[in-house]
A = this chain, B = another copy of it.
Amino acid sequence: MNKRPTLADVAARAGMSKTAVSLVLNNRPGSRLSDDAVARIHEAARELDYRPNAQARSLRLGTTGTVGFISDDVTVTRFASPMIRGLLDAADEQDRGVLIAETFKHPKQLRKAMEAMVDRQVDGLIFGALSARLVDLPPLPAGMRAVTVNCVNPEVPVAVLPDEEQAGYAVTRQLLDAGHAAGLAVIGNAPVARSDPRVSVTINRRFKGIQRALDESGVTPVAVEDIEFWEPWNGYDATKRVLESDAPVTALLCLNDRVSFGAQQAMTERGLRVPDDVSIASFDDDEIASYMRPALTTARLPYEQMGRQALELLLRPEESPGEHLVEMPLQVRGSIRPLA
């Protein structure tokens, strides 16, 4: 039952002082130790399989090499997974640990999670949210670095968000370029959500991008259906309404993939096929998008990139305040048929 070797053990074995060992192992420039001494120290450390005690080091340094990730619900939803992946990946590259907490229940929980992390002396905090919205946060301790990802907060200087305007433009462009200018229906206008930043700060940008593409080509949709929540059954209902209205629809621009999924079911029920009868494109690249047949053309929410970028921005010494937009790449699959 022998404990972990300490710096002192290494020093003793190498016949040097703790100072010397510390200097060598952290190879501090300017410490002029003989080559012989350096070699002996390295050898002793290797033999003992010495690993520094992180607590002791943090205590001395006031820094832990650990960052905290706090999310409302993200951690905990399928949406989150790629975000965490990106974050962990980047953290690993920079030899940082990641402490994680979720706070989906209550502001009190958020405060508690933050305190727990601050007590553990994290070097920075990343706040993530499920939907890209304005979030409330308790005041940050002075000097605490922070970045928000997929959300914004006035106290936090740097935010990582998906570039929804670009995506709105790209998806619409894709449909128009395929010749669907005359028969385009938009499934999922969301008047309520669009007016409340606490629901989403980016949703309007998605629409703005869509509008820009439409204006550019002088196109007016043949139908625009409101949906309050972008869920499959609502997409199903809305699509049904459009199909029953006898509007000359050749393509559905759905506001997300779950809506597309519902839309496709509605079409299948009426004997319409994708993309032969009606094309579909949408947003998010939800898992479901690749299960559908044909697979869905969609603009991907780049969660992994966002997670990665959040961590890198947090650790980057030079502040780069402001919004960092991450491109939403278009996944071109089989759901759009080019019209002759």
Q: B-contacting residues of A (Cβ < 8 Å)?
A: 1, 51-56, 58-59, 64, 66, 75-78, 80-82, 84-85, 88-89, 92, 95, 97-102, 109, 112-113, 115-121, 142-143, 232, 236, 258, 261, 265, 268, 287-288, 291, 293
Contacts and interface: CB of A to CB of B under 8 A. Distances in A.
Contacts of A95: 116
Task: Pick the most buried of A1, A101, A109, A291: most chain B CB atoms within 10 A of its CB.
Answer: A291
Given A236-B293, A268-B268, 18 more contacts: A51-B118, A53-B121, A54-B119, A55-B58, A55-B64, A75-B84, A75-B85, A75-B88, A76-B85, A78-B81, A80-B81, A85-B102, A88-B101, A92-B113, A95-B116, A97-B117, A258-B291, A261-B291
Nearest to A56: B59
A46 to B, nearest CB: 15
A119 B59 contact: no
B232 A291 contact: yes
A273 to B, nearest CB: 10
Contacts of A55: 55-56, 58-59, 64, 120-121
A101 to B, nearest CB: 6
Closest 3 CB pairs of A and B: A78-B78, A76-B85, A55-B59
A1 B142 contact: yes
Contacts of A82: 76
A99 B120 CA distance: 11
A89 B109 CA distance: 11
A120 B261 contact: no
A75 B121 CA distance: 24
Contact of A97 (B76, B89, B120, B142): B120
A116 B67 CA distance: 13
B97 A98 contact: no
